[in-house]
């Protein structure tokens, strides 16, 4: 027993950093600090650049980058589901697609590529579209920024456009209009809500003062990029599934499966 311990000791010691090595706080690395920001989804290219510049690429940072992006987008989509109940199924589908594609992609990368692999290192032979998305910093930044901008514009339209939120439209006589950009002029909040400081009255007051022209322009500009990003998510699911299935087939072959029938 003592000989066995003596043999294993050097291997264990080799994994422990020497006392002379400077101690580092992974959580305070520059790219990880960027990843902890609320707007980290808009800074995807910046945190990667910082990681390379400061030589601070870490597994924690890779996971944090993906988790914060998913949380930010999900919170926004959850709000849109409550603000636009008619479209809630669409927003729920987008949440499911976003989480599924990134989880499967990350898991496939770790399971098949090894623990040292990065989910952003995509071989063009596997998928040209994913290779372009993850390796071109300009494409990555534009896709992430305009994708979030699309949902932010929808947030603004939830308070200004009767097309998406019919409850904003109130009878105002011949002057009522459904044209995008036309300010909505419903009944005064004081005639509907007992308290002018209630949540409903404040939301209606906000809608009355907000013009929908700019949000509609932002939606039109960002919609193609948002759709492209959703297509990337679909491709991620397909490619990750195929990669995992290949690994399953290889493992089954090593185990002699399927066994030949007599």
Distance CA 63, CA 105 (A): 12
| Residue 27 C-beta-side C-alpha neighbours within 13 Å | 0
Q: The tokens of 53 are what? A: 């510049």
Catalytic residue among 69, 123, 211, 251: 69
- The answer to whether residues 135 and 118 touch, using CB atoms and an 8 Å cutoff, is no
Give the best-scoring range by mean pLDDT among 80-94, 181-195, 200-214: 80-94
If one counts every other C-beta atom within 10 angstroms of the C-beta of residue 134, the result is 21
The torsion angle over the Cα atoms of residues 209, 211, 214 and 216, rounded to 10 degrees, is 130
44 is catalytic: no
Q: How far apart are CA 76 and CA 237, in angstroms?
A: 22
Cα separation, 194 vs 105, in Å, equals 52
Helix (H, G, I), strand (E, B) or coil at 179: coil
Please give the backbone phi and psi of residue 14, each rounded to the nearest 5 degrees, phi first.
Answer: -65, -20
pLDDT tier at 106, thresholds 50, 70, 90: confident
Whole-number Cα distances in Å, 57 to 64, 116, 133: 12, 11, 19
Give residue-wise pLDDT tens across range 2-52: 444 444 444 444 454 555 667 887 777 766 676 667 555 555 656 666 666
Q: How far is CA 118 from CA 109, 121, 128, 169, 202, in A?
A: 7, 5, 17, 50, 47
Q: What pLDDT is stored for residue 231 in this prediction?
A: 95
Q: What's the pLDDT score for residue 34?
A: 67
When the pLDDT of each residue in the chain is averaged and rounded to a whole number, the result is: 75
């Amino acid at each position: 027993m003592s000989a066995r311990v003596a043999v294993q000791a050097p291997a264990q010691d080799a994994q422990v950093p020497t006392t002379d090595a400077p101690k580092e706080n992974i959580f305070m690395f520059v790219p990880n600090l960027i990843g902890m920001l609320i707007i980290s989804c808009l800074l995807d290219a910046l945190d990667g650049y910082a990681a390379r510049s400061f030589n601070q690429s870490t597994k924690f940072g890779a996971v944090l980058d993906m988790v914060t992006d998913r949380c930010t987008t999900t919170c926004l989509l959850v709000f849109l589901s409550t603000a636009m109940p008619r479209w809630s199924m669409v927003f729920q589908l987008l949440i499911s697609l976003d989480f599924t594609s990134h989880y499967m992609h990350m898991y496939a990368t770790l399971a098949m590529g090894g623990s040292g692999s990065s989910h952003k290192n995509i071989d063009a032979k596997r998928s040209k579209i994913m290779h372009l998305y993850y390796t071109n910093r300009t494409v990555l930044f534009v896709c992430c920024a305009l994708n979030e901008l699309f949902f932010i514009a929808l947030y603004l339209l939830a308070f200004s456009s009767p097309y998406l939120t019919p409850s904003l439209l109130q009878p105002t006589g011949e002057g009522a209009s459904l044209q995008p950009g036309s300010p909505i002029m419903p009944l005064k909040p004081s005639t509907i809500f007992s308290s002018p400081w209630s949540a409903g009255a404040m939301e209606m007051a906000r809608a009355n003062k907000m013009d929908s022209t700019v949000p509609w322009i932002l939606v039109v500009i960002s919609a193609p990029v948002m759709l492209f990003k959703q297509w990337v998510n679909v491709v991620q699911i397909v490619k990750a599934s195929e990669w995992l299935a290949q690994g399953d087939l290889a493992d089954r072959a090593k185990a002699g499966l399927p066994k030949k029938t007599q």
